[in-house]
Structure 1
Amino acid sequence: MFRLLRRSILTVGTAVATVLAGSLLTAGTAAPAGAAEAAVPATIPLQITNNSGRGEQLYVYNLGTELSTGRQGWADASGTFHPWPAGGNPPTPAPDASITGPAAGQSTTIRMPKFSGRVYFSYGQKLVFKLTTGGLVQPAVQNPSDPNRNILFNWTEYTLNDSGLWLNSTQVDMFSAPYSVGVQRADGSTTTTGRLKAGGYNGVFNALRGQSGGWGNLIHTRPDGTVLRALSPLYGVETGALPASVMDDYVNRVWQKYATSTLTVTPFGDRPDIKYFGRVSGDVMNFTNTSGAVVTSFQKPEASSIFGCHRRLDAPNDQVRGPISRTLCAGFNRSTLLSNPNQPDSGAAGFYRDSVTNHYARAIHAQMADGKAYAFAFDDVGNHESLVHDGNPRQASITLDPFN
């Protein structure tokens, strides 16, 4: 299974644009090699079906890192890779990488190369991409001056390599234009995820509007009144839409509980013998291993650390702190740390039950047909993510779903 990272490998942070903090599949923890590898061709078909019911022109972009060379660029409809030219400071316009998408009720098939990247799609307008000396600047609609702020768009994330395809829907940065993803296996069977229930699109926005405490402030509308998206609570905190203290009460109760009791973390489902034990001392939660040695410590987190799974809950790609942090991050977002001292909590029925929780994630999961989503960076803890994978994919699919 691939590890989901907080930072996009498509983008390098600059002083002139905010880098998206979306989860992106990377090849750092690839599945073991197998006989299926030789069967994965250089490109596979990606069928894009437009069931949105919208009449605007659709534009599609396939942007990413070419895994064989590490170069950043885009793929055209045939799957041919084009490296980005050198950028500038200030940023210079990127080449037009758009592919004309299918009209409502129709499908188009393009080719996916061996990338770790994103497939963007936008309605009615092309997206604005620019290049700095460090790489591609992606849309950052939490910034009021971003040129894409009033465009209706979304993206999916994928890695295709010699070990197969990993393709997911994501709401880590925002909830917007609805879509689902799928893979067709060599035997012709298909697996899909990411589809909302009937009425689920409006249901998410209505849940946010009805939630006290500023959650409705996450919703962005265009000047003509069109609802465009709901920002993630991380961006809500960063922009002042949500109060910075929104998670303080829950954190305080967690800290109080584990000052006198132990939080047990078993981060690897396939290695139940590896356990870590957390106890609070002052503003720090120390974790010891089974030998009693302290292996890592966490400062008392605030909302940004929790919603972003970063800062005080940073998760390096190691075998100790990262896995513990991922588990803590999931527990805080799902508000399960008080109800279950053995983490991760595998039962979704107990998620988001506290009055202080990630109500954005709660609303999204509640409206998913299969209950699965990437509503925060480590929503894959316990396998609650909206991801399809196959080691020998025949075809991938993205279906643009109705706005209802």
Structure 2
Amino acid sequence: MSPLSRRTLLRTAAATAVAAPAAGLLAAHANAGPDGRSARSSAAGLSLKIANKTGEYDSGSIHVYIVGNDGTRQCRVTPEGELKPVELSDNGPDGYTDYAIPLTGDETPLQLPEMSGRIYVACGEKLKFKAVDGGQGAALAYPAAWVESDPNYGVVHDCAEFTYKSGAMYCNTTMVDMFSVPLAIHLKGAKDQTTGTLKPGARAKVFEQVRAAEGFSGLVIDDKRVIAPGHGIGAGKFAEDHFAAYIDEVWSLYEGKDLKVTTNAGTFTGRVRGGKFAFTGPGEVSFDKPSTKDVLFCDGALAAPNDGVTGPVAAVLGAGFNRTTLVTEAEQPSKDPARFYQGGTPHHYVKAMHEATEDGKAYGFAFDDVAGFASYIEDGAASEMTLTLTPF
């Protein structure tokens, strides 16, 4: 997988309603299996099953949407598994497309063609995707359920992300934007893997934990969803300076001592000089002091270009800020989850997401894959994927 490509996708989705899943998402691994050899052909598509175990919604009231990019254009998948381009003419009389795939029972079989994108699930009502002029062809205005004026604000929905190419599948559940519907992925192929499964009763506990945390309560939207703090800032539901004191503490601490950051490129040594966090090692990189918003979106001063040097260091720094481990550990990344989310201003949103899952893994922020804590799995010879809406 190419984590930086995934982060680019996540930030794009966070920043704009017209979110186009990146055309080369996970391209670094798309043609090779786990051992580096070419994966088997996938002309027939991947067997995909959607399972309804919500206990709250009957299958007739749940709809699925598979949307994304085939490498050259935005597209969507029909109930028959056909990949079709998004067209402006797809908008109906109400101004929105109807790409809904209905569930046919407790487990609905589908075919997933080669593409990168998202599998949305909507409970109770259909989602409204609008085809718009993207400048280089038709694009989709994706749901932005953290915005009250969005037409999908009242719909209970969520999504999983994936790239499927040449028989290889890379996929994850995500809470980077919000959490609403508990989802689990079961991937079969060279291995048998699952991710994203919540503990019994965990959905309600997430809502309770976030609501009870000082400064985070505004992120809980009735019983529909919990929105990520970065989006909360934009909606006036989260303080834009929430992590300012912690950021100041990190900056002050490393004016007088070194921070060691280990990446695939090697180990970097950093210290704050002249207001910048400057690192030397396999390369020279520096970062301006981030804002709370930069930390939450893993962007701005913590932007991670896919350059093999600045990007990996930014990712580790971003993870350290979100996990509040930078003050307590001068060697990063921290790999002991028991030490995460401590101190006076922990990231209660992400903490709640990780505590909710059976394996402790979740995609609570865009750098959550640092040190392997994201709800992500891959298989270079995938044969079947099941996305389960687990009990509420």
Identify whether the pair has TM-score above 0.5, normalized to the shorter chain.
yes
Correspondence for 1:235 among 231, 235, 260 = 231
Match of 1:312 in 2: 301
Equivalent of 2:200 in 184, 198, 201: 198
Cα distance in structure 1, aligned partners of 2:44 and 2:331: 44
Counterpart-to-counterpart distance in 1, 2:185 and 2:103: 16
Alignment match, 1:301:
290
Q: Secondary structure at the match of 1:27?
A: coil
Equivalent position of 2:129 in the other structure: 129
Q: For 1:35 and 1:6, how far apart are their aligned partners in 2?
A: 26
Give the letter aligned to residue 281 of structure 1: R
User: 2:6 — aligned with what?
Assistant: 5
- Please say which of residues 21-30 and 281-290 is displaced more in the overlay: 21-30
Counterpart residue type for residue 193 of structure 1: T
Residue number in structure 2 paired with 1:375: 364
Aligned pair 1:29/2:28, yes or no?
A: yes
Contact (CA 8 Å) 1:234, 1:308: kept in 2 or not? yes
**Is the contact made by 2:267 and 2:281 (CA closer than 8 Å) also made in structure 1?**
yes
Amino acid at match of 1:144: E
Give the aligned length: 381
User: SS in structure 2 opposite 1:5?
Assistant: helix
Q: 1:356 & 1:25 partners in 2: Cα distance?
A: 37
Distance 1:306 1:26 in 2: 23
* 2:255 is equivalent to residue 259 of structure 1: yes
- Taking the aligned partners of 2:240 and 2:12, their CA distance within structure 1 comes to 27
Identity of aligned residues (%): 34
Say whether the 8 Å CA contact 1:182–1:388 is kept in structure 2. Answer: no
Name which of 323, 343, 351 aligns with 1:362. 351
1:164 paired residue among 160, 168, 171: 168
Q: Structure 1 CA distance, aligned partners of 2:246 and 2:22?
A: 25
Paired residue type of 1:197: K
1:327 corresponds, among 309, 313, 316, to 316
Match of 1:276 among 263, 268, 271: 268
Unaligned runs of 5+ in 2: none
Residue of 67, 88, 91 corresponding to 1:63: 67
Q: How far apart, CA to CA, are the structure 1 residues paired with 2:202 and 2:169? A: 27
Distance 1:369 1:10, change over 3 A: closer
* CA distance 1:283–1:11, shift in 2 (3 Å): closer
Distance 1:21 1:161, change over 3 A: closer
Preserved contact between residue 330 and residue 378 of structure 1 (Cα < 8 Å): yes
Between stretches 77-86 and 366-375, larger displacement belongs to 77-86
The normalised TM-score by structure 2 is 0.91
Q: Do the aligned partners of residues 94 and 29 (structure 1) sit closer, same or farther apart at CA in structure 2, a change above 3 Å counting?
A: farther
Measure the CA separation in 1 of the matches of 2:355 and 2:104.
30
Q: CA deviation at 1:123?
A: 0.8
Distance 1:35 1:314, change over 3 A: closer
Structure 1 CA distance for aligned equivalents of residues 182 and 114 of structure 2: 25
2:39 partner SS: helix
Q: Kindly tell me: are residues 289 and 35 of structure 1, through their superposed partners in 2, closer, same or farther at Cα, counting changes over 3 Å?
A: closer
State how far apart, in whole Å, the 2-side matches of 1:171 and 1:153 are.
12
Change (3 A) 1:259 1:175: same
By how many angstroms is 1:249 displaced? Answer: 1.0
Residue identity in the other structure for 1:230? V
Distance 1:43 1:8, change over 3 A: same
Residues 140 and 20 (structure 1), Cα distance of their counterparts in 2 relative to 1, 3 Å cut: farther
State the alpha-carbon separation in 2 of the partners of residues 10 and 260 from structure 1.
33
Q: Distance in 2 between matches of 1:171 and 1:37?
A: 30
Question: In structure 2, what is the Cα distance between the partners aligned to 1:112 and 1:356?
Answer: 42
- Who is 1:224 aligned against? none
Contact 1:305 1:311 in 2 (8 A): yes
Distance 1:243 1:114 in 2: 41
Per-residue deviation at 1:80? 0.8
1:11 deviates by 7.3
* 1:72 alignment partner in structure 2: 74
Match of 2:163, SS?
A: strand
Aligned Cα root-mean-square deviation (Å): 2.6
The residue identity in structure 1 corresponding to 2:225 is: R
Q: Structure 1 residues 22 and 328 mapped into 2: Cα distance closer, same or farther (>3 Å)?
A: farther
The 5-angstrom pairing of residues 47-126 of structure 1 reads: 47-56=49-58, 57-67=61-71, 70-86=72-88, 93-103=95-105, 106-126=106-126
Shift of 1:234: 0.7
Residue 9 of structure 2 aligns to a residue in which SS? coil
Q: In structure 2, what is the Cα distance between the partners aligned to 1:75 and 1:38? A: 22
1:211 equivalent in structure 2: 213
Query: In the alignment, residue 159 of structure 1 is paired with which amino acid?
Result: T
- 1:353 positional shift: 1.5
How far residue 94 of structure 1 moved from its aligned partner, in angstroms, is: 4.7
SS of 1:206 mapped into structure 2: helix
Contact 2:10–2:176, Cα closer than 8 Å, also in 1? no
Q: Which amino acid aligns with 1:285?
A: F
**Greater alpha carbon shift after TM alignment, 322-331 vs 71-80:** 71-80
CA 279–9 in structure 1, closer or farther in 2 if over 3 Å, else same: closer
Residues 322 and 182 (structure 1 numbering): CA distance in 2 closer, same or farther, change over 3 Å? same
What's the counterpart of residue 147 of structure 2? 143
Gaps of 5+ in 1: 222-226
